[in-house]
A and B are shown apart, each in its own frame.
Chain A
Amino acid sequence: MSKLKVAFQLNDKDVALSVDPNDTLLDVLRGQLNLTGTKKGCGKGECGACTVILDGEAVNACLIPIMKVMGRSVQTIEGIGDEKNLHPLQEAFIDKGAIQCGYCTPGMIMSSKALLDKTKSPTQSEIREAIAGNICRCTGYVKIEEAVQAAAEKMRDS
Chain B
Amino acid sequence: MKEYQVVGKSVRRLDALEKATGMGTFTTDLALPGMLYAKVLRSPHAHARIVKIDTGRAEQLPGVEAVACFKNTTRVKFNHSATMTFTVPPMEAVLDECIYDDVVRYVGDEVAAVAAVSERIAEEALALIDVEYELLPAVFDPVKAMEPDAPDIHIKKAGCFLCGKNIPGEKIHLALGNVEEGFKESDVIIEETFYLPVQKQAQLETQAALATVSNNGDITVWSTTQTPHPTRQILSHIFQIPQSKIRVLNPPYIGGGFGVRIGLSAKAEPIAVDLAMKTKKPVKIVYDRKEDFTSTDTRHSGIVTVKLGAKKDGTFQALQLKGLLNTGAYCSFGAETIGVLGAMGLSVYRAPHMLYTGNSVYTNITPAGAFRGFGNPQAMFAIETVVDMMAERLGMDAKELRLKNIIKPGDPWILPYSCQSTGLAECIEKGAKEIGWERRGTLNKPGDTLRRGIGMAVGTHVSDAWPFCGDFSNAYVTIQADGSVHVASGVPDMGTGTRTTLGQFAAEVIGVGMEHVSVTIADTQSTPFDIGSHASRTCYVAGQAVMKAATEARGYALAYAANMLNEPLEDLTILDAVVFCRGDRKLTLAEVARHAHLHNEQFIGVGKVIPQNAPPWLAHFAEVEVDTETGQVRLLKMVAAHDVGKAINPVIVEGQLQGGVVQGMGYALSEEVIFDREGRSQHDAYHKYMLLTAEDMPEIKAIIVEAEDPTGPCGAKGVGETGQVATAPAIASAIYDAVGVRMKQLPMTEERVFQALQELQKR
Contact indicator A129/B695 (Cβ below 8 Å): yes
Q: Does B15 contact A (CB under 8 A)?
A: yes
**Chain A nearest Cβ from B254, distance in angstroms:** 6
Residues of B within 8 A of A116 (CB): none
* Residue of chain A at shortest CB distance from B289: A42
**Chain B nearest Cβ from A47, distance in angstroms:** 5
Residues of A within 8 A of B651 (CB): 96-97, 143
* Residue of chain B at shortest CB distance from A30: B29
Residues of A within 8 A of B652 (CB): 97
Contact indicator A103/B205 (Cβ below 8 Å): yes
**Chain B nearest Cβ from A43, distance in angstroms:** 7
Residues of A within 8 A of B205 (CB): 39, 41, 101, 103
**Chain B nearest Cβ from A6, distance in angstroms:** 19
Q: Determine the distance from Cα of A47 to Cα of B292 in the docked complex, in whole angstroms.
A: 14
Residues of B within 8 A of A41 (CB): 204-206, 255, 289, 686
Q: Determine the distance from Cα of A36 to Cα of B28 in the docked complex, in whole angstroms.
A: 9
* Residue of chain B at shortest CB distance from A81: B21
Q: Determine the distance from Cα of A77 to Cα of B495 in the docked complex, in whole angstroms.
A: 19
Residues of B within 8 A of A95 (CB): 12
Mark interface residues in B173-211 (1 if CB within 8 Å of A CB, else 0). 000000000000000000000000000011111100000
Contact indicator A139/B658 (Cβ below 8 Å): yes
Residues of B within 8 A of A136 (CB): 204, 694
* Residue of chain A at shortest CB distance from B495: A101
Mark interface residues in B682-726 (1 if CB within 8 Å of A CB, else 0). 000111000101110100100000000000000000000000000
Contact indicator B700/A140 (Cβ below 8 Å): yes
Residues of A within 8 A of B495 (CB): 100-103, 138
Contact indicator A102/B693 (Cβ below 8 Å): no
Q: Determine the distance from Cα of A131 to Cα of B696 in the docked complex, in whole angstroms.
A: 12
Residues of B within 8 A of A133 (CB): 693
Q: Does B662 contact A (CB under 8 A)?
A: yes
A138-B256, A142-B700 known; A83+B659 contact, CB < 8 A: no
Q: Determine the distance from Cα of A81 to Cα of B662 in the docked complex, in whole angstroms.
A: 30
Among B16, B205, B654, max chain A CB count under 10 A is at B16
**Chain B nearest Cβ from A65, distance in angstroms:** 15
Q: Determine the distance from Cα of A63 to Cα of B23 in the docked complex, in whole angstroms.
A: 23
Q: Does B468 contact A (CB under 8 A)?
A: no
Q: Which of B12, B26, B258, B660 contacts A103 (CB 8 A)?
A: B26
Contact indicator A128/B694 (Cβ below 8 Å): yes
Q: Does A149 contact B (CB under 8 A)?
A: no
Q: Does A144 contact B (CB under 8 A)?
A: yes
Q: Does B294 contact A (CB under 8 A)?
A: no
Residues of B within 8 A of A49 (CB): 204
Residues of B within 8 A of A134 (CB): 694
Residues of A within 8 A of B494 (CB): 101
Q: Does B10 contact A (CB under 8 A)?
A: yes
How many inter-chain residue pairs (CB < 8 Å) link A and B?
173
Q: Does B288 contact A (CB under 8 A)?
A: yes
Contact indicator A138/B655 (Cβ below 8 Å): yes
* Residue of chain B at shortest CB distance from A46: B686
* Residue of chain A at shortest CB distance from B493: A101
Q: Which of A42, A125, A131 contacts B686 (CB 8 A)?
A: A42
Within 8 A of A (CB), among B243-293: 253-258, 286, 288-289
Contact indicator B686/A102 (Cβ below 8 Å): no
Q: Which of B202, B655, B694 contacts A137 (CB 8 A)?
A: B202
Contact indicator B686/A47 (Cβ below 8 Å): yes
Q: Which of B254, B258, B288 contacts A43 (CB 8 A)?
A: B288
Q: Does A86 contact B (CB under 8 A)?
A: yes
Contact indicator B662/A141 (Cβ below 8 Å): yes
A36-B29, A101-B253, A101-B494 known; A94+B12 contact, CB < 8 A: yes
Q: Does A114 contact B (CB under 8 A)?
A: no
* Residue of chain A at shortest CB distance from B206: A41
Q: Which of B13, B23, B255, B693 contacts A37 (CB 8 A)?
A: B23
Q: Does A120 contact B (CB under 8 A)?
A: no
Q: Does A153 contact B (CB under 8 A)?
A: no
Q: Does A24 contact B (CB under 8 A)?
A: no
A90-B21, A132-B693, A137-B691 known; A97+B663 contact, CB < 8 A: no
Residues of A within 8 A of B201 (CB): 137
Q: Does B32 contact A (CB under 8 A)?
A: no
* Residue of chain A at shortest CB distance from B665: A140
Contact indicator A101/B16 (Cβ below 8 Å): no
Contact indicator A104/B204 (Cβ below 8 Å): yes
Among B20, B25, B29, B661, max chain A CB count under 10 A is at B20
Q: Which of B25, B26, B29, B659 contacts A140 (CB 8 A)?
A: B659
**Chain B nearest Cβ from A108, distance in angstroms:** 9
**Chain A nearest Cβ from B58, distance in angstroms:** 20
Residues of B within 8 A of A40 (CB): 28, 286
Q: How large is the interface on A (under 10, 10 to 19, 20 to 34, 35 or more residues)?
A: 35 or more
Q: Which of A90, A97, A106 contacts B13 (CB 8 A)?
A: A97
Contact indicator B661/A86 (Cβ below 8 Å): no
**Chain B nearest Cβ from A21, distance in angstroms:** 13
Contact indicator A137/B204 (Cβ below 8 Å): yes
Residues of B within 8 A of A77 (CB): 21-22
Contact indicator B255/A39 (Cβ below 8 Å): yes
Contact indicator B256/A90 (Cβ below 8 Å): no
Q: Determine the distance from Cα of A132 to Cα of B364 in the docked complex, in whole angstroms.
A: 35
* Residue of chain A at shortest CB distance from B22: A37
Q: Does B241 contact A (CB under 8 A)?
A: no
**Chain B nearest Cβ from A78, distance in angstroms:** 5
Q: Determine the distance from Cα of A100 to Cα of B19 in the docked complex, in whole angstroms.
A: 9
Contact indicator A101/B203 (Cβ below 8 Å): yes
Within 8 A of B (CB), among A58-100: 76-78, 81-83, 86, 90-91, 93-97, 99-100
A37-B22, A93-B20, A94-B16 known; A101+B694 contact, CB < 8 A: no
A39-B28, A46-B685, A47-B686 known; A138+B20 contact, CB < 8 A: no
Contact indicator B697/A143 (Cβ below 8 Å): no
Q: Determine the distance from Cα of A67 to Cα of B19 in the docked complex, in whole angstroms.
A: 29
**Chain B nearest Cβ from A112, distance in angstroms:** 11
Q: Determine the distance from Cα of A109 to Cα of B755 in the docked complex, in whole angstroms.
A: 41
Among A90, A137, A142, max chain B CB count under 10 A is at A137
Q: Does B17 contact A (CB under 8 A)?
A: yes
Mark interface residues in A14-42 (1 if CB within 8 Å of B CB, else 0). 00000000000000001000111111111
Q: Which of B23, B31, B204 contacts A39 (CB 8 A)?
A: B204
Among B21, B494, B497, B691, max chain A CB count under 10 A is at B21
Q: Which of B206, B288, B695 contacts A132 (CB 8 A)?
A: B695
* Residue of chain A at shortest CB distance from B288: A43
> Other than the known A42-B289, A49-B204, A99-B13, what 12 A-B pairs have Cβ atoms closer than 8 Å?
A39-B26, A39-B255, A47-B204, A47-B289, A94-B17, A97-B13, A97-B652, A103-B205, A128-B697, A140-B660, A140-B700, A145-B697
Interface residues of A (CB under 8 A from B): 30, 34-44, 46-47, 49, 76-78, 81-83, 86, 90-91, 93-97, 99-106, 109, 125, 127-129, 131-145
Q: Which 10 A-B pairs have the closest CB atoms?
A: A37-B22, A101-B495, A102-B19, A103-B255, A140-B662, A77-B22, A100-B495, A46-B686, A140-B658, A97-B651
Interface residues of B (CB under 8 A from A): 10, 12-13, 15-26, 28-29, 31, 201-206, 253-258, 286, 288-289, 494-497, 651-652, 654-655, 658-663, 685-687, 691, 693-695, 697, 700
20 pairs, A vs B, C-beta closer than 8 Å: A39-B204, A39-B205, A46-B289, A93-B20, A97-B655, A100-B655, A101-B205, A101-B256, A102-B18, A102-B24, A103-B256, A131-B694, A132-B695, A137-B204, A137-B256, A137-B663, A140-B661, A141-B662, A143-B651, A144-B694
